[in-house]
Structures are given as C-alpha cells and as structure tokens.
Amino acid sequence: MQIDLIQEARRQAEICNACRYCEGYCAVFPSLQDNRIFSDGDITQLANLCHNCRGCYYACQYTAPHEFDLNLPKALADVRQDSWETFAYPQAIARTFQRNGMMIAFASVLAFALVFVVANWLGRGRDGNAFYAVMSHGMMVAIFAPAFLLPLASLGVGLRRYWRVVGGERVTSAHILSAIKSAGEMRNLAGGHGDGCNFEDEDRFTQARRVAHQLVLYGFLLCFASTSAGTLMHYLLGIHAPYTFWSLPKLLGVPGGILLAFGAVWMFVLKRRGDRHLGSVSAWSGEVAFIVLLGFVAISGLALYAFGATPLMPPLLYLHLGAVLSFFLLTPFSKMAHGFYRFAALVRDAQRKLPQ
C-alpha cells in the first residue's frame, strides 16, 4: 500500500482523535477513539469502515483554509481505494480499471456480446426454445460457471490479505449477525443520529444515498435469487425455461431488476451531484463505470423480458449476456468489491464491540 496515503490518513485521524467533536457521527469515530496510536492495519480498517457520508467534513472547523487542512473523507477514501487495489488479485487489473473504468466496461460488454454473436453464428448446440434457441443452455453454463467462480476465488484471496492486515480474529456467529444487520439496514449511511448523509448537499441531511444503496442491494439479491431458483428448477425439478410470469424466477427477477435499475440510476445522479474531491479522485471513473454497468445489466435484462418474443430478442440477449459476463469478471476489480470489504470491516468492528 502507498505509505504516503497511510501517513496522511494517520495524521488526520490523530487530530480527529484529539478533537472528538464528531464523536457519534458514524461508525468510524467510536472505532477511531478506541485507539491512541494507529497502525497501518488500524487505518486500513477505519478506511473500509467509512461510508463517505461526509458529515464530518462539513462539521469540521479544521478544514482548509485552516492549517490542519483536514479532509478525512478523502483521506480515508484514498486509503480504502488503495487497499482494494493492493489486496486485489491480480493487482494490475484493479489499478487499470479504476483509472479507465468506462472504457474497459464499454469495450468488454461489446467484446463479449460479439463472442456470443459468433458462437450463435457457428450454430453450436442450440437446444431449446426462446433464449436457448439462440444460445444453448450447455454453452451458457460452460461460460458463466467459471465467470462466477473465478471472481469469487480472486475476492477470497483479497479478503484473506485484508483480514491479516487489520488483525482480524476468530469470527463468531454473533460477529456475523451484527455485520449482517448493519449492512442490511445500511446503518452507517444514516449518520450517527439517523439524519442521513450530506453527500450531495453540505447544508442538508438526506437519506437518499442510503435508500439508493438499499434498492441496489435488495434488487441484486432478488436477481441472484431468481437465477438460483431457475437453476434449481432446471436441474432438480426438470422444469426448463422459458418460465411464465407467475413462476418463481420471474416473480423474483422482475421486481429485482426494477429495483436494481432504479437504484443504479439514482446512485449515478447522486454521484454526479456530490463533490468528487471529497472522495478518491483517481477512482472516480471506475466508480461511475461500475454504477453504469450495474444499471445496464438490470435495464437490458428488463428489456429482454419485455421484448423476448420479438425480433429484438437476439441482439438484446447478446448485449445482456455480454454485460452480465463483464460484471462478473470485473467484480474483484470494480467497486462491487467494496461490498465484500465493507462487510469484512463490519465484522471486524463487531469484534471490537463484542469481544470474545
């Protein structure tokens, strides 16, 4: 990790710890105030615990032009981003994506869509109706199973590195349950007093960012549950696609897609409104690219459902599959990884609050 980023965050954390005006603002400050000195691992943990709500910045009396020049949200964002890139495997892809995210996301979607076009043109093993008349089930499994498992393995390597650096201890069920509750409620996006964030407007507290994240989280989980239900129905019950609207995959997937699409668009709007200089400036392109890619996955999936019985179905299918494949393969290197690292940070924080 970059030593200068750690040192700057440590300098600011020490000043904040001496001041303590922001005590109770969010989960970062109780954890920060438990320490008198900060190791590199402590700073990395604080950075991943921070949700960049920015309330502390707008309340701080030591921001520029004060000589202390505090900007704790940015300092922690820089460390957080650098930690994800350092722990990622392989590192080079992560650093490249953060700086050229939009170009990489756009190119990968088109490239993978073209691969699916060529596979269909070769006519290899189309074996059913609807989507499977364009792309066989066997080919989809052969492509997407590794694309799902390999990123999980990459994330596993990164999380193991993170856990060692932050001094993680043996995890208990109480730690896991505490982290799940906090993540599910998006508690740290509600501010210390439950008023919300100052993310897009320094003079107004709002729950907008919290709600947008909840829409994305629960929309994604519903879409994942839809895919899982379809897989179980296919292999265990012998019920094959296409499924009717009143089937479990559709009852989960359609609302999930709507929530995910709406949440991603809302997050994009909030991202554009926020002051990018209170976050990691170098990662702005990668963060926006991730939101756009996530939204495109949802919107293309809904469009595929709406126009699945029309001549538009094949090109929509190619684009949707290309977007989904890009999303999975880029997950360890995009901001999607932040969900895993933030959950690990919440587990580590639960160990602070609930000692063994």
pLDDT, tens digit, 9 for 90 and up, residues 327-348: 999 999 888 888 899 999 999 9
Query: Can you tell me the mean pLDDT for 190-208?
Result: 75
pLDDT in tens, 105-126: 899 999 999 988 887 776 654 5
> What local confidence, expressed as pLDDT, does residue 125 receive?
47
Q: Return the pLDDT at 179.
A: 93
Instruction: Give the mean pLDDT of 38-53.
Output: 93
For the chain, give the mean pLDDT. 87
CA distance 3 to 46: 16
Instruction: Return the higher-pLDDT residue of 180 and 205.
Output: 180
pLDDT at 132: 66
pLDDT at 178 over 70: yes
* Whether residue 146 has a cis bond before it, omega within 30° of 0: no
User: Is 90 exceeded by the pLDDT of residue 241?
Assistant: no
Whether residue 247 is predicted with pLDDT greater than 60 in this model: the reply is yes
Q: Which of 247, 287, 246 is nearest to 264 (CA)?
A: 287
CA distance 202 to 292: 25
Closest CA to 127 of 116, 119, 118, 135: 135
Query: pLDDT class for 313, splitting at 50, 70, 90?
Result: confident
The model's confidence at residue 256, banded by pLDDT at 50, 70 and 90, is: very high
3-class SS of residue 38: coil
User: In this structure, is the dihedral angle defined by the CA atoms of residues 97, 102, 106 and 107, taken in order, positive or negative?
Assistant: negative
- How sure is the predictor about 320, in pLDDT bands with cuts at 50, 70 and 90? very high
- Is the Cβ–Cβ distance between 10 and 16 less than 8 Å? no
- pLDDT, tens only, 62-109: 999 999 999 999 999 999 999 988 998 888 787 788 778 888 989 999
Q: What is the mean pLDDT of residues 198-214?
A: 82
148, 328 Cβ separation under 8 angstroms: yes
pTM of full prediction above 0.85? yes
